[in-house]
Amino acid sequence: MAFQSAPSGNEAAKIDDLARCLERLVEGRPVALFDWPSYANAGDHFIWLGEKVIFKHRLRSKILYECSLQHLDFLRLARLPPEAIFVMHGGGNFGDLHSHHHRLREAIIAAFPDRRIVLMPQTVWFHRHERLKQSARVLSLHSDLHIIARDQDSFETLTTRMGLHNCHLHIDSAFALQPIVTDIVAEMAMAPERDVVHLLRRDAEASDISARRADALDWATQDDLAKLVDRGPAIQAIAIARDIFDTEFDAKSWGRLCAAIRLFGTARRIVTDRLHGHILAVMMGMEHDLYDNSYGKNSAFCLSWTNNNPLLRFVGPSKRSPSPRAKGFRSPATEASAADSKTPPPKPLAAIVTPYFKESRATLERCIRSVREQTVPVDHILVADGFPQDWIDQTGVRHVRLDRSHGDYGDAARSTGSMIAVAEGYEGIGFLDADCWLEPDHVGYCLELAEQAGVGNCDYVIALSRDRRPDGSIMNVRQVPIQQHVDSNCFLPEKRFPHSPRLGPDSSGSVDRWRSRLLSFGEVERPEAGGRDTKDGQLHLHVGLGLSCDGRRAARGREAES
């Protein structure tokens, strides 16, 4: 037989534990669900459907609002009743590998400090220690944030390395689909057509075996489920599903679930390096080989929950390395060694240009400090528009003095600093008014987005703005569309492109060519990336939606992989 009975019920018991934990956290209150997966990866769709089973079937929760990352409406969130609990989709995107999802998560958490917020079971993984620390600072400021890890290593990262409280450890939500998967398999009545299906990643998390199997299928980076989506039973054909899945989001996720079941049903055995390939095989009662992903997510999950499952054969060593060996992490000893090295530090990739006029010393110090504390090296060029302040010479910045004020809102000073930065070969050049500031990872994140787009695809990252009152609270002020206006503080141009028109001297000079396309990475990618005093409060910047200048070309953001 292709399918055995589901295993002894250990996974079902663990889902009961998760439901009881959520019951205590939700307390019968209505919920809003965030980050429906608007991309192909079937594993994230399993999680979404499992979460709907838990909240609608187990907890009988009233769901007031659902959204994908691309269609999040902050104003609508603000209008939800105060007792509503925000619930964020679980999966494998907590960290800096699939950063746009985690930054959306941080944006919501920062924007709603008085809401109870629950993060469904997540794998936690940061390649850069600096990004881990920055995220810990953002999350630790929320007093009613509850994070559920889905493996022991992630739980220890949250509690020990990040110092967060209100953390829990529970199994992946997809296991809540067990009775539904059983009914779908029975409804399809499939017979195996081949011995093995190889379901292998083709992305940054791919295992070593992926490169050796050119014939492998995948359900994310290459969508081998697309032709199977309409070949499963309707939701109404499965009794337990009828009263649970009732939205367009659910219907699309249902199609991905049925397609994945049909794909697995064509084989007697599964070979995979996808965590939810393992989870689906367990729920279908299929024998399978599981390889670890690139950073040990699969082994960490199995060691926490499914290692003794008789259907599982874990192949090869675990890729989970001790945290200090994570890419980009520098231990205290390494930092000390670097500090003692005679080798001069490399030139920063980016420069920030700040024109100033008659701002107070406290205002300028805040601006200077925010640039100095960036998580990547950044040079800061301050240009005095006729009224230089001598103390700035002692702060370690580049201090340029113009001999008179130009009365042009800093344009002459800003242009002077910009041309200096262009001539000296900085890869990225940002603008920051003297009454503005940046959060520590603002420049690093802008450079990261440009790098993800690829050389030749991005010439500058654009940021949106956020109003804050003097006490730091966020004001509900609608953004001016970027097609109408972009503040100079919102640009970080990239200087890497040999095909664009000159800004200054010709080939005999030191000014490279530039182009003028914008980068699009989705709405509300980064909260609190900077700020500015305003008449009514303070303005914070966050990397957000960009459109091409001619309305046609825009680089797309990357989807997360569960």
Tell whether 556 is covered by a domain: no
> Hey, is 95 helix, strand or coil?
strand
User: Does residue 449 share a domain with residue 412?
Assistant: yes
Highest mean pLDDT among 77-81, 128-132, 457-461: 77-81
How far is the C-alpha of 268 from the C-alpha of 36, rounded, in Å? 31
Residue 552 lies in a domain: no
Structural domain count, the chain: 3
Q: Are 131 and 549 in contact (CB under 8 A)?
A: no
- Rounded to 5 degrees, what angle do the CA atoms 201, 206, 211 make? 85
In a shared domain, residues 85 and 154: yes
Q: Do 487 and 383 fall within a single domain? A: yes
334, part of any domain: no
Q: Are 327 and 128 in contact (CB under 8 A)?
A: yes
pLDDT digits (tens, 9 = 90+) for 404-438: 999 998 889 999 998 888 888 887 888 999 988 88
Q: Specify if 301 maps to a domain.
A: yes
How many other C-beta atoms can be found within 10 angstroms of the C-beta atom of residue 342?
A: 4
CATH number of the domain bearing residue 529: 3.90.550
Per-residue pLDDT band for 561 (boundaries 50, 70, 90) equals very low
Per-residue pLDDT of 172-195, as tens digits, reads 999 999 999 999 999 998 889 999
Q: Examine residue 335 and state whether it is found in any structural domain, yes or no.
A: no
Residues 129 and 191 in one domain: no
Q: For 98, which DSSP code?
A: T
Residue 320, pLDDT above cutoff 80: no
Query: Helix (H, G, I), strand (E, B), or coil: what is residue 559?
Result: coil
Q: Are residues 424 and 506 in the same domain?
A: yes
Give the burial string for 378-397 (b: 16+ CB within 10 Å, else e). bbbbbbbbeebbeebeeeeb
**558 in a structural domain:** no
How far is CA 18 from each of CA 59, 146, 182, 314, 524, rounded to the nearest angstrom?
11, 13, 21, 25, 30
Phi-psi region of 60 (alpha: psi -120 to 50; beta: other; left: phi over 0): left
Mark which of 139, 174, 209 sits at the end of a domain.
174
User: 99-116 pLDDT, tens per residue?
Assistant: 778 888 888 898 899 999
HSE at residue 354, side-chain half, CA atoms within 13 A, is 33
Task: Check which CATH number belongs to the domain holding 91 and give it.
Answer: 3.40.50
Q: Are residues 66 and 210 in the same domain?
A: no
Asked if 320 and 361 sit in the same domain, the reply is no
In this model, does residue 6 exceed pLDDT 70? no
Place of tokens 């200048």: 549
Q: Are residues 150 and 28 located together in one domain of the fold?
A: yes
SS (H, E, C) 269-309: EEEECCHHHHHHHHHHCCCEEEECCCCCHHHHHHHHHHCCC
DSSP string, 323-388: GGGSTT---HHHHHHHHH-SSPPPPPSEEEEEEESS--HHHHHHHHHHHHT-SS-EEEEEEEES--
Q: Do 168 and 185 belong together in one domain?
A: no
Sign of the CA dihedral running 42, 43, 48, 53:
positive
pLDDT tens-digit profile of 35-65?
999 999 999 999 999 999 999 999 999 999 9
pLDDT tens digits, one per residue of 439-482: 777 787 777 777 666 555 666 777 766 666 766 676 777 767 76
Which structural domain, as residue segments, surrounds residue 448? 350-543
Residues of the chain with pLDDT > 70, as a percent, come to 76
Helix axes 178-188, 10-26, angle to 10 degrees: 130
Q: Are both 170 and 185 inside the same structural domain?
A: no
| Whether 320 and 209 share a structural domain | yes
In a domain, 330, yes or no: no
User: Is residue 42 a part of any domain in this protein?
Assistant: yes
Q: Are 482 and 464 in contact (CB under 8 A)?
A: yes
Residue 255's SS3 state is helix
